[in-house]
Structure 1
Amino acid sequence: MHKPLMTALTTLLLAACATTPHTPQTTRPDTIITIPTTTATTNTTLEQQYGGTIALRTDTFAIIANPTRQPLTAQGGKQHKAEKNKDAVNIDPSTKSENVWSNVRYDGWNNSFSEGLPENAQSWDQIELKATQESNHNGSGQIVAVIDTGVDLDHPIFYNNLVSNELWFDYVDNDHTPEDEGSIGQAAYGHGTFVSGVVLQIAPAAKIMPLRVLNSVGSGDTLDVASAIIWATDKGANVINLSLGTAQESDAITMAVTYANSKNVLVVAAAGNSNKDTLDFPAQQFSDSKLNISVGSVNSSDVKSAFSSYGMNLGLMAPGENIQSAFPDNRTAIMSGTSMSAPVVSGAIAVGLSTLNKPEVVLSSLINSSTNINEIYENSSFRGKLGSGRINMRQFIDDLN
């Protein structure tokens, strides 16, 4: 198994990554404040103005840990207030959700990945995934950053499908070994491994960049998520998968996503599992975005999953019920949730990008080529709130070609 790197080696590696505007935290701030700024303003000036210490800095914004003073109202009337940091991000931020994704069935890794996982045959036929195999577009050359609980770094599904280890990071343990830690029975154990495995079933030649921000019970810090988005962007990710969210809008995550978009990085976020007419953040903010998409879940009959959130801001639907994927210790698992449907779309985007089309074109084509599911009787009460429809890989590839 991979072991945590020695502190001295970690320090050297972090020093070598000077291009990333990223400051790993040795302590977890209780609150943070995110301030739009420019490179003309120094860290010292910001700390004097707001109190606290600089925790993350880019050329467009800064995150200050434990600020002691509120900012002046920004130009245009926007007031950026301090927000909770510790454990503000969760796999399932809705307290009313049944946490459906944790209803897990486990199996051994009995067959090779190239033969496919049998539980998914119907779901992959549903989205016409075979069309990507026929077109020879498989995500080659694309990097999908999975910001989650980490991955089982030794699982067979990831053989030759992870980026080089200097591009990994674990924000929970502050090292370069984002191992999916825990044991069966802990709420989020295996979640990141599972999500990454779904991406690779859709885009088998893509590379996964594992970034750990959530612990084994599925919670993490806002600062860590924002930092991971910046890291992924600066380290070459093409797509960022967020099978997580917050119950309230976060300035830190919003500005980090904007930073990623400024570098033409696409961001995919799970809609949430509350079965309410509202999405988790940041998915709620992705309406009409050219580079971001929120994803809800359907069953094998294209009916909205009973757990899936919905709403006018929803972008796309994808299979998210009884999906089979990798699980730690050379196993597979079967899970349900929008956490599972989001990486289907992340994988689809990686496939689209491997056609050498521009990111905006890829996302637009994925949306426009989707199958309308509004007219299905069981979806009638959600009409207009299921995004553009369920993804259709055959039509998607045809459009791109």
Structure 2
Amino acid sequence: MMQKFQTRRSIFPVLLFLILSCCFFHGQRVSAFTSPSADNTAFSDTLPWFLTDIGAEEAWSLLSEKKPVGVPVIVAVIDTGVDYTHPLIAGNLLENMAEKNGTAGMDDDKNGYLDDIYGINTCSHNSDPMDDSAGTIAGHGTHIAGTILQTAGASANENPFNIRILCIKAGDAYGNFSDEALIEALQYASSRGANVINLSVSMTSCSKALYDALFAASENAVLISSAGNRSMGTSEGSSRGRSYYPAALPFVVGVMSYGKEHTLSSFSNWDRISDSGEDYELAAPGESIFSSVPGGSFKNSSGTSMSAGIVSGAAALLCANYKKQSLYTAAELTSFLMNSGISDLVYTDSSQGEHLFSRLDLPSLLTSSPKPRLICRTASLHYMNGSNGQYRFSFLIQNQGADALKVSLDAACSIPGVQITFDHECPDSIPSLSSFEYSGVLTLTENPSDLKTVQLSLAVRCSGKETASEQVSFEAETSIHTEGTVSRDIPLQNISLSISDPLVLKTGDLLRISVAYIPENTTADRSIAFSSSAPEIISVDADGTLHARSGGTAVISAVSSVGFVRKVRVTVLSAAKSETKQTGPASETPTTLDSDKTENPSADQKKLTVGQTIRHKKLKYRITSLRASGGTLCLYGLTVKKKTLKTVSIPDTIRIGKRRFRVTRIAPKTFQNCRNLRKIRLGKYIRSIGRHAFRHISKKAVIRSSGYRQSRLLQKRP
């Protein structure tokens, strides 16, 4: 026994040396992530590349000289949770001291949550926001929280700018985030005074309830969201594009990713048209980002989520810079961040079109000040038929910068001696991220003989809170109509639209409205003004293109130059509704057709709408698109009990009346828990299989497919 003890004792110094060495080098490694001031250069060579690329050390030095106020800047991380025991994060949390020092099991601060010391879990409805350690995106929230802290100059041992993380778990490690969980998370973040909210999630639609919650949160916090990792451009101007939310919303900073070579990451979504209202405004490093993961360790990860974390850290420093003054609102700081950076990131799309994006630059962000940025969204000048020289004009002015103060407007016409009357007075101010429509009537006192066009310009002068007065000008132009031509005009008697009322679309759909004029040979002004009662549900372009954005109902109005109005009620089916048994608006009963019992093909052909349910041989389908000859279907459910289903053959096409529909999708969880299912044959047109479509079916089940695409889809059984 003594010999064994001596042998073990001889090992003790070696083990002690190894343990101390690991602790020493681990401590060095954590400190190397951030250098809180320019004077501390011991580990400057070991800074992660993304901090060096955005000029982090210079920014920290600049901010240290300003000595920002010690009041904490709160960054809410709404994600898969956060490992609040991680060495990098544990000392930088926003703790609820009322609950920490209170009675266990009691709601000491009366906010509706028991013992929410570090945050809450809106998935399981408890007060433990701990990150998941298993799943396809396990540790996602912890990685984001560590990235934010590193960008903000915080380490395991110091936090010079008092940046605090508020942990909120709103989804699981498989990427499941419900609207209800996100809405509750946003409300909780606002109630805890969050200055910055990081949402590294991306969805193809945004419901009205979630939109309202995001907008309410944006009134007091800067909202940051990832653009998504689908290599896809936004939906404006392309039927192949798709916008991802909440990044595409106008009051949320949408963040794209780039790599070490300053090229847009191959996986990153990108903005097709700038200043369109659906934008990803900024790019940040998103490849090989070294940050914290559960269990006290670190690893490299890539994605626009990491880019959003870096921008959230920058937003925290921006808030720290201005928090002492309380000079700028959250909307002003949001717009300032959106329009910051260095515009040198060039991306060439598949059509060889070039797009210029701005990448984050911390020093310039902290050395400049927010100022107004007025743009003209639309400008129009239309002749009023039969008015003897009167023209109606309208300018839609949007402020994409800080609050515009002391606003003055001055309209001028290219023809002297005209009379200009305005519909309303000039506003005293135009707040950040808001719009103002300035309209009126221009009257020619006499008809000029040598001019063919009339041009109206609008000069807008305003000042900012810390900037001098500046002026911008906008113009509108139209042809001149004389009295002689008025008498020969063929007046417009009415208009009609090419779409039916009511209309049903699904999120992501694009549809162009065509206008027919009555009579067709009218010489009147053919301009049509389109508008939507709820642009967040469905928006409409100036050319009449509808963009279905989120679930709900809106009214599309088309107004002619002489005041004829046509309205269409449009219902948009959200992604959530398209994957459940609700096949129509919540207030309506869904229409269901049985393809095996169609007796009147011509009648059914007229009744078919997008979102309609079709039953065919034990399976339920939903119409996802319509054409004159047919359309596409999504398989989403069964007409029999799951335990009785043993074999299933998904057809290639289904005939309904005179139309033939292709089956192209299988919705999530369609065959989940079909434990007696043994044989499955997939149709040749299926190109998308939802998550957990075949979960918990028998291991003996055989899934047969044809084609390379389906083989790829089934490599990992959904």
Q: TM-score, normalised by structure 1?
A: 0.66
Structure 2 vs 1, CA of residues 134 and 272 (structure 1 numbering), >3 Å: closer, same or farther?
A: same
- Aligned partner of 2:215 among 226, 238, 258: 258
Matched, 1:371 2:331: no
Q: Please name the residue that 1:199 is paired with.
A: 148
Distance 1:276 1:116, change over 3 A: same
Deviation readout 1:168-226 (Å, 9 max, x if unpaired) = 1011221111001233xx21110000000000011123111100011121212110001
- Whole-angstrom distance in 1 between the partners of 2:232 and 2:177: 23
Aligned to 1:337: 303
One-letter amino acid of the counterpart of residue 33, structure 2 = G
Deviation larger for 118-127 or 391-400: 118-127
Whole-Å Cα distance in 1 between the matches of residues 347 and 270 of structure 2? 16
Partner of 1:397: 366
Aligned position for 1:113 = 30
Shift of 1:115: 1.9
Give secondary structure in 2 for the equivalent of 1:136. Answer: helix
Of 260, 264, 270, which aligns to 1:310?
270
Q: With CA pairs under 8 Å and 6+ residues apart, which has the higher RCO, 1 or 2? A: 1
What is the SS of the residue equivalent to 1:326?
Answer: strand
Distance 1:339 1:375, change over 3 A: closer
Q: Matches of residues 143-292 of structure 1 in structure 2 within 5 Å?
A: 143-165=74-96, 166=116, 168-183=119-134, 186-203=135-152, 204=154, 205-262=162-219, 264-278=220-234, 279-286=243-250, 289=251, 292=252
Pair 376,280 (structure 1): closer, same or farther in 2 beyond 3 Å: closer
AA partner of residue 130 (structure 1): E
What CA distance in whole angstroms lies between the structure 2 residues aligned with 1:299 and 1:381?
21
Task: Give the structure with the larger strand fraction.
Answer: 2
2 CA distance for matches of 1:231 and 1:139? 25
RMSD, aligned α-carbons? 2.6
Give the Å deviation of 1:306: 0.2
Cα shift at 1:243: 0.3
- The equivalent residue for 1:355 is 321
- Unpaired stretches in structure 1, ≥5 consecutive residues: 1-107
1:400 & 1:131 partners in 2: Cα distance? 17
* 1:109–1:330 contact (8 Å) kept in structure 2: no
2:354 match: 383
Contact 2:170 2:182 in 1 (8 A): yes
Does 197-206 or 267-276 show the bigger shift? 197-206
1:249–1:131 Cα change, 3 Å: same
Distance 1:199 1:329 in 2: 18
Residues 295, 317 of structure 1: 8 Å contact kept? yes
Find 1:124's aligned residue among 51, 55, 63: 51
* Count of aligned positions: 285
Residue by residue, what CA displacement relative to the aligned partner does 1:5-51 show, whole Å, maximum 9, x if unpaired?
Answer: xxxxxxxxxxxxxxxxxxxxxxxxxxxxxxxxxxxxxxxxxxxxxxx
Alignment of 1:287-302 (within 5 A): 289=251, 292-302=252-262
- Write the mapping of 1:34-73 to structure 2, written as runs, cut at 5 A: none
**Structure 1 residues 212 and 110: alpha-carbon distance in aligned structure 2, compared to 1, 3 A threshold:** same
Aligned structure 1 segments of 4 or more residues deviating by more than 4 angstroms: 117-120, 137-140, 374-382
Q: Cα distance 1:274–1:375, how it changes in 2: closer, same or farther (>3 A)?
A: closer
Alignment partners' CA distance in 1, 2:51 and 2:349: 21
The answer as to whether partners of 1:120 and 1:323 remain within 8 angstroms in 2 is no
Residues 380, 145 of structure 1: alpha-carbon distance in 2 compared, 3 angstrom cutoff: farther
- Say if 2:201 and 2:305, in contact at 8 Å, map to a contact too: yes
Aligned partners of 2:86 and 2:264: how far apart in 1?
A: 32
Unaligned runs of 5+ residues in structure 2 are: 1-24, 35-44, 97-115, 155-161, 235-242, 274-278, 371-718
Q: Deviations over 1:365-400 (max 9, x none)?
A: 3334311124578999563463xx001111111114
Matches within 5 A, 1:74-113: 111-113=28-30
User: 1:275, CA displacement in angstroms?
Assistant: 0.4
Which of 1 and 2 has greater Rg? Answer: 2
Q: Give distance in 2, aligned partners of 1:119 and 1:378.
A: 35
Among the aligned pairs, what percent are the same residue?
28
Which is richer in helix? 1
